[in-house]
């Protein structure tokens, strides 16, 4: 049987069926939060007239259950929790600065760097081929190699850092002023272990419900945080709200347990991508994964009105940058 990314897609109850034109549109988008694509090779021709950019920008996950990123035997032999330094969650690599962080033993650095460089090249090519609207617009690439079991995260840090809870991604110390976060993931587990995720409801519905819980933005305290180097630059009103949503989601135990959500199973050899600042997601179990991040300006998007920045501006009735 060919592996699939979909674990369970329960049908919506009648109370969740659309009542207005707008919610009909949302319902349609999220009857299936994931799109499966059959590619088996990283080199392929761009599909004609594809709506994949629209689907990703609406918050769907694009999943490639047969697009394997192969590790050499030497690379596989490196995999183990001890590959990463004792105080770090992941190994990270910044291609533009050619800087790698977190490899415990310096003698492994060159091999890990080569692996992460290759992952960057493959994922960049994938995004630019599949979603040609983004060609030449992907910014600040950083990627990571995650070697710990997800269960090891639990209890080690605060609820705010607990990615087993559904959340949208927001960087607490690094404001991104509305830029989008595209992430491309790959399960490299050599023992057949799935990476299990949950994904949640459309961003706009979530934001509508949670916005009233977020405390008002203070330009003064954001300036102070930047002056004190708590943040790398001044947090904009947008950064305040997206971080507020991240926190409000994680703090809401009822939403975590009972909010609309789907389970996704990513087998080893599966690639998947999403706008992680928009698609609620939670990592439930698994070990060994590659992750590539790109930022994208809202103005570069095909449907910028679907971006968290524009959605939050619409809902609050004000400019947020
Ligand atoms: C996350 O982005 O929240 C975690 C994803 C993962 O490690 O599977
Ligand atoms: Fe996340």
163 in contact with ligand 1, CB cutoff 6 A: yes
Q: What are the structure tokens assigned to 20, written together?
A: 């207005």
Atom of ligand 1 nearest to the CA of 146: 7
pLDDT at 2: 53
pLDDT tens, residue order, the chain (321 aa): 456 777 655 544 444 443 433 333 443 355 678 999 999 999 988 888 889 999 999 999 999 999 999 999 999 999 999 999 998 999 999 999 999 999 999 999 999 999 999 999 999 999 999 999 999 999 999 999 999 999 887 667 789 999 999 999 999 999 999 999 999 999 999 999 999 999 999 999 999 999 999 999 999 999 999 999 999 999 999 999 999 999 999 999 999 999 999 999 999 999 999 999 999 999 999 999 999 999 999 999 999 999 999 999 999 999 999
Ligand 1 pocket residue status of 146, Cβ below 6 Å: yes
Question: Probe ligand 1: pick from 144, 164, 185, 249, max atoms within 8 Å of CB?
Answer: 185
Cα(165) to centroid of ligand 2, in Å? 9
**Which ligand approaches the C-alpha of residue 150 most closely?**
1
* Phi and psi at residue 112, to the nearest 5°: -70, -40
How many CA atoms, within 13 angstroms, populate the side-chain half-sphere of residue 319? 1
Proximal ligand: closest to the CA of 164 = 1
The answer to whether 279 and 168 have CB atoms below 8 angstroms apart is yes
- Contacts of 86-94 with C-beta under 8 Å, sequence gap 24+, read 89/146, 89/148, 89/153, 90/144, 90/145, 90/146, 90/147, 90/148, 91/116, 91/144, 91/145, 91/147, 92/142, 92/143, 92/144, 93/117, 93/120, 93/142, 93/143, 93/144, 93/145, 94/141, 94/142
pTM of the entire predicted model = 0.93
* Probe residue for ligand 1, chosen from 163, 183, 186, 276 as the CB with the greatest number of ligand atoms within 8 Å: 163
């Amino acid at each position: 049987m060919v592996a699939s990314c979909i674990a369970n897609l329960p049908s919506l109850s009648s109370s969740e069926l659309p009542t207005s034109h707008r919610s009909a549109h949302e319902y349609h988008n999220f009857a299936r939060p994931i799109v499966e694509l059959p590619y088996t090779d990283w080199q392929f021709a761009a599909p004609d007239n594809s709506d994949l950019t629209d689907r990703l920008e609406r918050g769907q996950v694009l999943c490639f259950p047969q697009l394997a990123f192969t590790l050499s035997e030497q690379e596989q032999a490196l995999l183990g929790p001890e590959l990463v330094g004792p105080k770090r969650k992941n190994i990270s690599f910044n291609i533009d600065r050619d800087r790698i962080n977190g490899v415990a033993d310096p003698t492994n650095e060159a091999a890990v760097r080569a692996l992460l460089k290759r992952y960057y090249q493959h994922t960049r090519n994938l995004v630019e081929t599949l979603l040609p609207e983004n060609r030449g617009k992907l910014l600040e690439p950083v990627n990571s190699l995650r070697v710990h079991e997800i269960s090891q995260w639990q209890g080690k840090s605060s609820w705010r850092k607990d990615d087993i809870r559904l959340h949208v991604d927001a960087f607490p110390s690094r404001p991104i002023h509305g830029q989008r976060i595209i992430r491309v993931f790959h399960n490299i587990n050599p023992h057949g272990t799935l990476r299990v995720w949950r994904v949640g409801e459309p961003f706009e519905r979530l934001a509508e419900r949670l916005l009233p819980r977020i405390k008002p933005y203070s330009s003064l305290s954001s300036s102070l945080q930047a002056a004190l180097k708590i943040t790398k630059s001044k947090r904009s009103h947008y950064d305040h709200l997206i971080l507020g949503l991240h926190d409000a989601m994680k703090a809401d135990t009822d939403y975590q347990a009972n909010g609309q959500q789907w389970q996704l199973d990513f087998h080893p050899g599966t690639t998947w991508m999403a706008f992680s600042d928009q698609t609620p997601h939670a990592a439930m179990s698994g070990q060994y994964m590659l992750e590539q991040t790109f930022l994208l300006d809202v103005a570069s998007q095909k449907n910028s009105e679907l971006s968290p920045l524009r959605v939050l501006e619409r809902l609050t009735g004000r400019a947020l940058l």
